[in-house]
Structure 1
Amino acid sequence: MAWTTWTTPRLDPDRSRRRLQILAELAGARAVRERERPRRARTEQLRQLIATRRRLAG
């Protein structure tokens, strides 16, 4: 039985470039989402605080 080498088929350069571009865009979108998450939480906390103060003052 002969030994075979496992090789991945070569993608054409255009397809490879598009794949890398898509992966980079996904990574960028993920980074933006991670940055926005704490800001949303802070905004929600402020809204709750304002609502509570209005209830107490009224």
Structure 2
Amino acid sequence: MAPSSQRLDPDRCRRRLELLAALAHAKSARELTTPQRLRGMRLRELIATRRRLVN
């Protein structure tokens, strides 16, 4: 039976904001590395295809 208008204590609110900021940072870092990862996967795929055609 928790009241819906109860405020979060300041420490809990601060920790929550820090967690959300860390998650946002991790997401943006992951989005930056994704194109490089895709480019590397595509390059490896092309090399493997060429090796199959040559042999």
TM-score between the two structures when normalised by the length of structure 2: 0.77
Unpaired runs of 5+ residues, structure 1, are 1-7
**Following the alignment from structure 2 to structure 1, what is the Cα–Cα distance between the partners of residues 6 and 36?**
44
**How far apart, CA to CA, are the structure 2 residues paired with 1:15 and 1:48?**
48
List gaps (5 residues or longer) in structure 2: none
Alignment match of 1:25 (pick from 22, 25, 38): 22
In terms of Rg, which structure is larger? 1
The structure carrying a bigger helix percent of its residues is 2
Give the total of aligned pairs. 51
Identity %: 59
